Amino acid sequence: MSAPRMIACHECDLLHRVRPLPVGTQARCTRCGAVLYRRRRNSLDRTLALNIAGLILFALANSFPFLAMNFEGQHQQIVLLTGIREMYRQGLPEIAVLVLLTTIISPLVQLTGLFYVLLPLKLDRLPPAVWHVFRWVRKLQPWSMLEVFMLGILVALVKLAKMADIVPGISLFCFLGLIYVLAAISASLDPNSVWEKWWDRR
């Protein structure tokens, strides 16, 4: 007989036994009342579909021009990595690396890692080191800061609009879509469902 699954309250550290919940309900700590976990409807299927959409949008956002600038007869196209490369060339390697990590590497690792976890579980299989990968995906989630990057770009565009003609590219719209998809993934993912699948098949 396997040992019961336990969960610690993230507010007061009180241990609770994990019990099955009806769809749409949540478990709360008996000491402080904090939410321990929720039971979302079709969480894994919905998150997997959003994750696939996120991978497609990520590939498109990094394959096409982000925007184009027309200035005094000169036409220049900019891709996402252009700004990072220019920061590095201008003597700001720390900022360039930080932007690279938060806008490219972290979202990519989060999307690919989640795909690695969810697709085999959907096919009733258990991938190697699934719990290590899933823990890293959860840890990297706060480091995905696409919305901060987009806010900085919008501020720059407002200033540049007075000096040059700005033409949005396909990548810009894919990037905007990716921000919403990542937010939807975070809202729809039920980590407890993943752990339940892993617990049942380990």
Q: How much is the pLDDT for 49? A: 95
- Do 20 and 60 reside in the same domain of the chain? no
- Do 18 and 47 reside in the same domain of the chain? no
Q: How much is the pLDDT for 7? A: 83
- Do 55 and 130 reside in the same domain of the chain? yes
pLDDT at 103 over 90: no
- Do 117 and 137 reside in the same domain of the chain? yes
pLDDT at 1 over 50: no
Q: How much is the pLDDT for 71? A: 67
- Do 70 and 82 reside in the same domain of the chain? yes
Mean pLDDT, all residues of the chain: 82
- Do 16 and 52 reside in the same domain of the chain? no
Q: Which residues constitute the domain of residue 82?
A: 41-201
- Do 22 and 61 reside in the same domain of the chain? no
Say how many domains are in the chain: 2
- Do 152 and 104 reside in the same domain of the chain? yes
pLDDT per position as a tens digit, 18-57: 887 887 788 889 889 888 887 777 888 899 999 999 999 9
- Do 139 and 184 reside in the same domain of the chain? yes
Q: How much is the pLDDT for 78? A: 73
- Do 171 and 133 reside in the same domain of the chain? yes
Q: How much is the pLDDT for 116? A: 93
**pTM of the model as a whole:** 0.77
- Do 103 and 113 reside in the same domain of the chain? yes
Residues 6 or more apart from 27 whose CB is under 8 A from it? 16, 18, 19, 21, 35, 36, 37, 38
CA atoms of 199 and 113, how far apart (whole Å): 19
- Do 8 and 62 reside in the same domain of the chain? no
CA atoms of 4 and 164, how far apart (whole Å): 64
pLDDT band at 85 (very low <50, low <70, confident <90, very high): confident
CA angle 188–191–192, rounded 5-degree value:
120
Residue 35's H or E segment, with its range, is strand 35-38
Q: How much is the pLDDT for 2? A: 54
pLDDT at 61 over 80: yes
Average pLDDT over residues 153-161: 69
Say which range, 88-97, 138-147, 184-193, has the weakest mean pLDDT: 138-147
- Comparing 167 with 9, which gets the higher pLDDT? 9
19 and 10 in contact (C-beta within 8 Å)? no
Q: Which residue shows structure tokens 């565009």?
A: 157
pLDDT per position as a tens digit, 104-140: 888 999 999 999 999 988 888 888 888 888 888 888 8
